[in-house]
Structure 1
């Protein structure tokens, strides 16, 4: 390892060239902003594998000049991905290779999709733009991006008939160490009365990390009682001589069997997602609510209960979580392949859900999943689905029409990630949008649609009296009918562009109010008049595009936590600032346009007591100087300043942002420097600059050096969109990365 480190240092000193160039269109290299975590923390626990990791790194940094292929093979759950990830994210490897790419292949091998992933990485827009490009063209683009550079491409989750005959990670001491960490936390101290039986449990996991982690998660959530541990040990002893994969599945099944009754349907529901999916956690929770899996507990809302259930599944190591730096909450999760296999097997056994591509009979099924078909699969989708009269939930993930009118009991229509699913339904089969809104039992509707045939939702939509979530993706503005104010159960509205009408005057028994509404996104010209505000008393998240309609009435939204405003022109500052000063529950605020002054940001917005995330975008603030003061932004964790052309001077002390974690600056080409005192903010983890002035970048380098002096090993700076061969590339070091424009 010392030789590797020495070589890396020599390369940097000799060449001074940038390390970690990105592939075309990749503005967010793997690992930059998304981290996985278990209950042990962000880094996945890996015990007893130092020798294997060192051997892998030696192979990666060997002197061979030709392209090498290094296979990591073994049965599922053995820790292949964890081993590769630890090498991939090691600072020496990051420094050694010019390009790093991580691609998940999965069981359904598709060479073209892999090629697209390699070329486009995280850029969805670029991927769609290149969707029609031929394989030869994609191959040429990939070749040009790699030519002449040292690159590391990891292809995860490839399936092969080859397997290790021997488990290299099966040492008893390593299994026991990992088991103790999972059950008892980082200190890993097991009570003496449980040690003997605990070692027996760890031994019977046969060194398979996934088994140890899942069983450990089960015991961590249970009472530390000897009789219960003996019960688990007895069950493990009965399966110890089975074939490895079957033994692992039985161990995972044991964890599922011991789940509390209320968690089992929540776990099985995750089977609707394709293999290796990155699952959007807020959407998953909405599906749980729509399916009726949750019940109020001790006066808590269903959303709060869903959050607790999610945490419970995480603590049991049944799901892996991901947290974005631009958020204060867990946004995404995923599931290990073997756990997903267990999920689908138990779902089928309990007739909980069926997956159409598995060739299962769906006649009497209540939950149906249809993923993108491979070329081998041949079936008439409309004909097959027509037989599913009892379906309560339909998750569809490809572009083909389906006879929705036949689903009289449908509660959940989830278009998943398919683009144009209902677009084909409209164009090819002649269905109208009314067909969707005839599903009177619907609680969750999510779909994409071409609204060229209509620019408004039908007035009959209010007959969906149970509807809780409405998600519609399209390209045009849609008008909602006045009857939308009768949809009392509505909680979440996310339509690409929606015009909401004024509520009518209540007459007689008619109640035009949305008491359960918590989120509205992309509302056009929202008239925030007193009559409207009174009818949405519990709104928490609001995303609006509008001019200056009665802004002062925002103050009445006392439960509002997230506000995203996009102003088409200048607004009446005083009305807006007066309203904001009364929004004491506000945690997240984003502005685009409006023309506020920097003094307004400091005085009015900085005084919000619970503000954690602030994003100021193009046109939202004017002025060349921003000076902050003591006592403001006391809880701010994330600050983003994007496309503010005028800002030159930023004067601040570290005490002005005492809890700041993440600072993102984009296209601040006049900014002289980031306040030097930011080097003293102990909570700061990441500064990201994109197309900013050279002087701002240099000041970030000085902050990185100061943070290192203070012992903040978690801190780093990432600089993007730098001109090739810029002198800034020479500033690179372990906590300061430069990504050139390509």
Structure 2
């Protein structure tokens, strides 16, 4: 049963397939995972993968030449054509059918096709693939269509941050509230639905299994762009696309790639609601200064690829903005008038130096996500900020990239629903560590992710006493040199799934976990440590799936009891002592001798290590 779209179809026909225990089988193909699960929820469905470059070439060669050999002069460019189909079998067949009609098989014709594969496949006289892809789009429920078409804003082959994508969907108004879920949780459901329909591909996952990045196949991206332009939903501008004069008006969203930048002046900007840059050009600074006059209704401005020398002050007049992202170089002064943006939901500011932030930041009640690289509040935050009647930031869920943030109880009370926090500290001898009040993390009752790091210090802060909320699921600690004896502050967290201990987060030669700790921990990283002896048994980490050790040159051996953890699937080592590596190999051998082939041990190369961080 090929290409089944609805569970009702299976309900209507399955009664004609009685189970007579005669060994017969039914193969059902579908683009929607819920249909596959509905047909048989007792075993996992087989997820079809894209073709490898070699398999793509083999299919293309057979489509064009049948049983004959491919001329040697065409094989190199033919392999390029096959690879440019990005593993999609139907694309290979469509292109192969086109090439098979060419009787003379000139090399220059093949080279032209290799350079223009997407436009050739999607053109009117080669619409077999387009019609098949459009079936997936036409079956989308209405609330997912805008989210899918929005994927066309990103450049070809770009690895897309799912976190950024969700923030954009929310700012664009595509996500409808569903009580009791937050907008972000509903958006994650939308993303999962698109993924289950095979319209996007997961590229990378975080350590707790959540999707970090995704990509969209070139053919589907072309569909998005074509449909979005016809509906005046999005206009992508690059070196290949120039609009006719009548197409330059009524454009709601514009995504500017490469050389398309100068053409923005040709549009009637009064209609533009979203402006996204994926190209660095110094002309943008002067161009954006006129935005308040030309794009008064702008809701989304993503200029993270543009490196500003100073804050484009005119932006504060864009009072409808819900999403603002930009980067700067050098010293950038952030204006107090940013508080005019009362509708702002997401504010992303990346730069190469410290950014001093005004207290007026906390006067924007709709702020949901505040992401920085090196943000410093230029005032005694706890007292002076709360000296005036500030709104409680009920919507704030993410605050990352702050330096020397004062963790007072009152400050955390104005952000009661914070889920993700990233704070770094550069110790100043004039300030006592206790003034940062690290024990107040416990008042963040909704906090799920915390990145807590010390960038540099004169002396280790042995006396710091952090206290973490029980809601925490993911914790990264760096540089604090807390004695291993105090690991209970982490091990006792009942919901902790991911723990990353970086650059002497804990200090000492012996770590002996206590009974009843780390009950839900799935991933553990120990990076750069003086740990020498580690005493554990399988009950200490009952759900551990992945253990990674890097730069643990003092560690004499990995405890054999680690191998007895039933859930452990991966043990990775990089730049560890020879005896630790040897013990890891012995653990694997012992487990294999006992019939446990599920545990993999990897000694990681430098390339693998730096590309998996």
Select 1:469's aligned residue among 324, 346, 365.
346
Alpha-carbon distance, 1:268 to partner: 0.7
Distance in 2, matches of 1:261 and 1:574, equals 53
The superposition leaves residues 383-407 of structure 1 with CA deviations (integer Å, 9 ceiling, x where unpaired) of 336x422211111111122322232
> Residue 613 of structure 1 contacts residue 639 of structure 1 at CA under 8 Å; is this kept in 2?
yes
Alpha-carbon distance, 1:704 to partner: 2.4
The SS at the match of 1:654 is coil
> Residue 86 of structure 2 contacts residue 217 of structure 2 at CA under 8 Å; is this kept in 1?
no
Change (3 A) 1:544 1:164: same
Residue in structure 2 matched with residue 60 of structure 1 by the alignment: none
Change (3 A) 1:710 1:536: farther
Residue in structure 2 matched with residue 384 of structure 1 by the alignment: 266
Residue in structure 2 matched with residue 615 of structure 1 by the alignment: 500
> Residue 233 of structure 2 contacts residue 252 of structure 2 at CA under 8 Å; is this kept in 1?
yes
Select 1:633's aligned residue among 499, 514, 518.
518
Residue in structure 2 matched with residue 442 of structure 1 by the alignment: 321
Residue in structure 1 matched with residue 298 of structure 2 by the alignment: 410
Alpha-carbon distance, 1:592 to partner: 1.1
Say whether residues 1:498 and 2:375 are aligned partners. yes
The SS at the match of 1:461 is helix
Residue in structure 1 matched with residue 168 of structure 2 by the alignment: 287
Say whether residues 1:587 and 2:587 are aligned partners. no
Distance in 2, matches of 1:703 and 1:42, equals 33
The SS at the match of 1:290 is helix
Alpha-carbon distance, 1:42 to partner: 11
What residue ranges of structure 1 are gaps of 5+ in the alignment? 1-36, 57-67, 84-155, 167-241, 724-736
Residue in structure 2 matched with residue 359 of structure 1 by the alignment: 242
Say whether residues 1:566 and 2:453 are aligned partners. yes
The SS at the match of 2:495 is coil
Change (3 A) 1:653 1:53: farther
Residue in structure 1 matched with residue 441 of structure 2 by the alignment: 554
Distance in 2, matches of 1:484 and 1:451, equals 21
Aligned-residue CA RMSD (Å): 3.5
What residue ranges of structure 2 are gaps of 5+ in the alignment? 1-31, 37-43, 60-74, 102-122, 428-432
Alpha-carbon distance, 1:335 to partner: 1.1
Change (3 A) 1:712 1:448: farther
Residue in structure 1 matched with residue 255 of structure 2 by the alignment: 369
> Residue 565 of structure 1 contacts residue 592 of structure 1 at CA under 8 Å; is this kept in 2?
yes
Alpha-carbon distance, 1:518 to partner: 0.9
Select 2:87's aligned residue among 65, 80, 92.
80
Select 1:297's aligned residue among 178, 186, 198.
178
Distance in 1, matches of 2:130 and 2:257, equals 24
Distance in 1, matches of 2:269 and 2:257, equals 16
> Residue 590 of structure 1 contacts residue 617 of structure 1 at CA under 8 Å; is this kept in 2?
yes
Say whether residues 1:534 and 2:413 are aligned partners. yes
Residue in structure 1 matched with residue 538 of structure 2 by the alignment: 654
Distance in 1, matches of 2:572 and 2:400, equals 27
> Residue 319 of structure 2 contacts residue 340 of structure 2 at CA under 8 Å; is this kept in 1?
yes
Residue in structure 2 matched with residue 134 of structure 1 by the alignment: none
The SS at the match of 2:132 is helix
Residue in structure 1 matched with residue 570 of structure 2 by the alignment: 686
The TM-score, its normalising length taken from structure 2, stands at: 0.75
The TM-score, its normalising length taken from structure 1, stands at: 0.63
Select 2:491's aligned residue among 601, 606, 623.
606
Residue in structure 2 matched with residue 273 of structure 1 by the alignment: 154
Say whether residues 1:675 and 2:565 are aligned partners. no
Distance in 1, matches of 2:505 and 2:249, equals 55
Distance in 2, matches of 1:721 and 1:334, equals 26
Distance in 2, matches of 1:457 and 1:614, equals 34
Select 1:397's aligned residue among 273, 278, 286.
278
Alpha-carbon distance, 1:54 to partner: 13
Distance in 2, matches of 1:399 and 1:437, equals 22
Structural mapping, 1:20-169, within 5 Å? 44-45=47-48, 71-72=78-79, 80=87, 165=100
Distance in 1, matches of 2:452 and 2:315, equals 30
Higher relative contact order (CA 8 A, sep 6+): 1
Alpha-carbon distance, 1:364 to partner: 2.0
Structure 1 stretch displaced more, 432-441 or 282-291: 432-441
Distance in 2, matches of 1:544 and 1:738, equals 25
The superposition leaves residues 359-414 of structure 1 with CA deviations (integer Å, 9 ceiling, x where unpaired) of 123332110011123xxx7x7345336x4222111111111223222322111112
> Residue 75 of structure 1 contacts residue 163 of structure 1 at CA under 8 Å; is this kept in 2?
no
Distance in 1, matches of 2:609 and 2:250, equals 57
Residue in structure 1 matched with residue 26 of structure 2 by the alignment: none
Residue in structure 1 matched with residue 29 of structure 2 by the alignment: none
Change (3 A) 1:682 1:529: same
Say whether residues 1:575 and 2:465 are aligned partners. yes
The SS at the match of 2:539 is helix
Distance in 1, matches of 2:303 and 2:130, equals 30
Distance in 1, matches of 2:407 and 2:490, equals 20
Distance in 1, matches of 2:249 and 2:510, equals 67
Residue in structure 2 matched with residue 597 of structure 1 by the alignment: 483
Residue in structure 2 matched with residue 110 of structure 1 by the alignment: none
Distance in 2, matches of 1:507 and 1:574, equals 28
Alpha-carbon distance, 1:299 to partner: 2.5
Distance in 2, matches of 1:558 and 1:258, equals 41
Change (3 A) 1:52 1:259: closer
Residue in structure 1 matched with residue 219 of structure 2 by the alignment: 338
Alpha-carbon distance, 1:336 to partner: 1.4
Residue in structure 2 matched with residue 307 of structure 1 by the alignment: 188
The SS at the match of 2:127 is helix
Alpha-carbon distance, 1:298 to partner: 3.0
The SS at the match of 1:698 is helix
> Residue 479 of structure 1 contacts residue 499 of structure 1 at CA under 8 Å; is this kept in 2?
yes
Alpha-carbon distance, 1:604 to partner: 2.2
Distance in 2, matches of 1:48 and 1:391, equals 40
Alpha-carbon distance, 1:79 to partner: 7.8
Residue in structure 1 matched with residue 64 of structure 2 by the alignment: none
Structure 1 stretch displaced more, 653-662 or 40-49: 40-49
Change (3 A) 1:290 1:606: same
Say whether residues 1:517 and 2:396 are aligned partners. yes
Alpha-carbon distance, 1:606 to partner: 0.8
